[in-house]
């Protein structure tokens, strides 16, 4: 195998690993799991006034995730540009649906502008910039309705959010 073939294969593997970062980030937000989120970032990633590394991320996400009852982020249109074997940039679009204590049911369209770096054999976020295209609060939450009991009924709250004890307690209080 010639050197250019090895480089192309390495680039394919790098893009595949990088492509999983925003999806894993979305899963960590859904689970409200800051530790899982911290594993996706470089130890020297900066989080503005909150500091750097895992502790900076924890401080940055404390308010956001504490008030979240439910959040799902759909990831799309991920562009990745590799600068070299250990650095890259990218952008990814995300559509977020969230139920919060303070603002009710929210919908956001977000473009993340990312920098990636490979450390210890793993691709990580070196920096992540959240760029809001729009955010809107809905007057009535679609989650404040009866159970769907799928497949009998497709309308109503499904079993996924009700499996979360914190969400289920909120849901019982709004019904």
- pLDDT given for residue 104 in this prediction: 93
55-72 pLDDT, tens digit per residue, is 999 898 886 788 899 999
Q: Regarding the domain delimited by 3-141, which CATH topology (the fold level of the hierarchy) does it fall under?
A: Nuclear Transport Factor 2; Chain: A, (3.10.450)
Q: Which residues of the chain have pLDDT under 50?
A: 1-2
H, E, C per residue of the chain: CCHHHHHHHHHHHHHHHHHHHHHHHHHHHHHCCHHHHHCCECCCCECHHHCEHHHHHHHHHHHHHHCEEEEEEEEEEEEEEEEECCEEEEEEEEEEEEEECCCEEEEEEEEEEEEEEEECCEEEEEEEEEEEEEEEEECCCCCCCCECCCCCCCCCECHHHHCCHHHHHHHHHHC
Give domain limits for the chain. Answer: 3-141, 142-175
């Amino acid at each position: 195998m010639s050197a250019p073939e090895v480089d192309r294969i390495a680039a394919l593997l790098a893009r595949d690993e990088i492509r999983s970062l925003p999806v894993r980030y979305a899963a960590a937000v859904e689970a409200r799991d800051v530790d899982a989120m911290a594993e996706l970032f470089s130890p020297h990633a900066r989080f503005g006034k909150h500091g750097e590394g895992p502790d900076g991320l924890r401080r940055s996400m404390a308010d956001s995730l504490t008030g979240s009852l439910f959040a799902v982020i759909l990831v799309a249109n991920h562009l990745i540009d590799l600068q070299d074997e250990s650095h890259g940039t990218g952008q990814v679009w995300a559509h977020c649906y969230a139920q919060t204590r303070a603002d009710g049911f929210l919908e956001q369209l977000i473009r993340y502008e990312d920098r990636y770096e490979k450390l210890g054999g793993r691709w990580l976020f070196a920096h992540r910039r959240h760029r809001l295209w729009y955010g809107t609060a809905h007057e009535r939450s679609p989650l404040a309705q009866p159970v769907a009991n799928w497949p009998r009924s497709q309308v109503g709250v499904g079993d996924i959010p009700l499996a979360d004890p914190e969400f289920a307690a909120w849901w019982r209080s709004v019904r």
